[in-house]
């Protein structure tokens, strides 16, 4: 038994810098823990997290109504049929053959243009020059927008993301920026309806559910704002984290250089071991009992996904970065997730109904950018200076900077 755990320990810098010892203690001694500071009930074990994510009737996505307060209603805060209808409309243009055939060449082109601007050798700011602009440029290209929109989309993304914390004046500024953006999207929608193209907006406007329903113009604009925040900010930070972890394991980098097919298992293992999203919240629709603790309806269950991904009862030596491990599904993720016969799926993209709809796009960007970076440079290392700080900031664990030396 460790010393008694307090809520204050979940809010100090030591925890933000290295939460894994606390999570290990919680999994063994406090599998359900009431954080009285945030008023959240933390769940840290893998199987418990899977149960919460699967049972959307009891564990509602209602806490994400903060998105609706800023960008209008999206599927991220919906449960049941409303969610399923909207996801069925947009999913076909985000995954599978559509992504591979239509968007992969666009992704490769964006990466090539960004890498062409880097020096042939010497130091460069990887976040400023690649990881930050890459996802927004990809989304802009998929939307059929010219390069001149890059800085505007970045401004929209930053303001909307800041607004999600719910504090003023950021909330009002983000809402106003989304409304301004929605007017521009509405104009593009009108153009695509008259002259359809092969871009993302055309695909969404033409998308239909099984019973023929489509998204309203407001819902299309809200979904695209969601895509900017979820696909821009998170992919940026995830790619930077991935490169940081790879460079901390040079033997893995050499394995990948010798066989780029190892990139896919490396991404899966990274998403399990580190990933980026720390928590997801769910609101109880009825009373439940967890590990002898009764929790009333209306309370918030906080799923510590990153802890679940490092559950030693599921993954052997969980803090070891092992791209050949036998207890992890090393291929592309599947929405049902979970585990079967000793092989588990990571929860870095979630699980169940609210499994990340942009996971295929995120993996494509991570894989292509990493392969092209390693192909361009024979050697990569951290530039001299302060060590990059990988720590929890709000609901994500990400770097503060990443400057690399290349030759």
pLDDT, residue 185, reads 82
The answer to whether residue 232 sits within a structural domain is yes
The answer to whether residue 153 sits within a structural domain is yes
The answer to whether residue 166 sits within a structural domain is yes
pLDDT, residue 145, reads 79
pLDDT, residue 211, reads 83
Compute the Cα dihedral for 250, 256, 262, 265 and give only its sign.
positive
pLDDT, residue 398, reads 96
181 contact partners, CB below 8 Å, separation of at least 6 = 156, 221, 224, 225
Residue with tokens 């303001």: 159
The answer to whether residue 119 sits within a structural domain is yes
* Average per-residue pLDDT for the chain: 90
Residue 20 domain boundaries? 7-406
Which contacts (CB < 8 Å, 24+ apart) does range 284-289 have? 284/58, 284/59, 284/60, 285/57, 285/58, 285/59, 285/60, 286/58, 288/58
Number of structural domains the chain divides into: 1
> What CATH number does the domain containing 83 carry?
1.10.630.10
pLDDT, residue 146, reads 74
Q: How far apart are CA 349 and CA 360, in angstroms?
A: 10
The answer to whether residue 71 sits within a structural domain is yes
Positions of the chain with pLDDT under 70: 1-2, 95-96, 98-99
Q: Are 215 and 89 in contact (CB under 8 A)?
A: yes
CA-wise closest residue to 19 among 375, 332, 319, 378: 319
pLDDT tens-place string over residues 70-102: 888 777 777 877 777 777 777 777 766 766 777
pLDDT, residue 355, reads 83
Q: What is the pTM of this model?
A: 0.92
Residue with tokens 């930070």: 237
The answer to whether residue 2 sits within a structural domain is no
pLDDT, residue 2, reads 63
91 secondary structure, DSSP code: G
Distance set, CA 30 to CA 5, 19, 54 (Å): 8, 15, 22
pLDDT, residue 65, reads 80
Percent pLDDT > 90 in the chain is 59
The answer to whether residue 1 sits within a structural domain is no
The answer to whether residue 136 sits within a structural domain is yes
Q: How far apart are CA 98 and CA 265, in angstroms?
A: 23
């Amino acid at each position: 038994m460790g010393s008694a755990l307090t809520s204050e320990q979940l809010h100090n810098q030591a925890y933000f810098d290295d939460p894994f010892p606390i999570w290990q203690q919680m999994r063994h001694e406090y599998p359900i823990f009431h954080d009285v500071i945030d008023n959240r009930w933390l769940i840290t074990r893998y199987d418990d997290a899977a149960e919460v994510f699967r049972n959307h009737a009891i564990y509602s996505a209602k806490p994400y109504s903060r998105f609706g307060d800023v960008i209008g209603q999206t599927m991220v805060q919906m449960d049941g049929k409303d969610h399923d209808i909207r996801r069925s409309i947009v999913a076909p243009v985000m995954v599978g053959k559509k992504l591979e055939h239509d968007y992969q060449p666009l992704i490769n082109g964006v990466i090539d243009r960004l890498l062409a601007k880097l020096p042939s050798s010497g130091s460069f700011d990887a976040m400023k020059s690649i990881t930050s602009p890459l996802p927004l440029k990809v989304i802009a290209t998929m939307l059929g927008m010219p390069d001149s929109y890059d800085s505007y989309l970045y401004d929209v993304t930053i303001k909307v993301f800041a607004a999600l914390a719910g504090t003023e004046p950021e909330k009002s500024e983000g809402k106003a920026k989304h409304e301004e953006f929605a007017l521009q999207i509405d104009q593009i929608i009108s153009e695509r309806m008259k002259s359809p193209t092969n871009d993302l907006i055309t695909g969404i406007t033409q998308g239909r559910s099984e019973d023929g329903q489509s998204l309203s113009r407001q819902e299309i604009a809200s979904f695209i704002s969601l895509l900017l925040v979820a696909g821009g900010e998170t992919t940026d930070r995830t790619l930077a984290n991935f490169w940081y972890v790879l460079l901390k394991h040079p033997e893995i980098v050499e394995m990948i250089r010798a066989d780029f097919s190892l990139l896919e298992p490396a991404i899966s293992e990274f998403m399990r071991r580190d990933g980026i999203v720390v928590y997801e919240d769910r609101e109880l629709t009825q009373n439940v009992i967890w590990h002898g603790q009764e929790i009333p309806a209306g309370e918030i269950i906080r799923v510590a996904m990153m802890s679940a991904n490092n559950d030693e009862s599921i993954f052997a030596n969980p803090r070891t970065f092992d791209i050949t491990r036998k207890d992890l599904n090393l291929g592309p993720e599947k929405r049902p997730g979970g585990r079967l016969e000793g092989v588990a799926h990571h929860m870095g993209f979630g699980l169940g109904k609210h499994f990340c709809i942009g996971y295929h796009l995120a993996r494509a960007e991570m894989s292509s950018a990493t392969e092209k970076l390693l192909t361009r440079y024979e050697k990569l290392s951290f530039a001299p200076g302060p060590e990059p700080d990988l720590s929890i900031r709000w609901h994500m664990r990400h770097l503060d900077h990443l400057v690399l030396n290349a030759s």
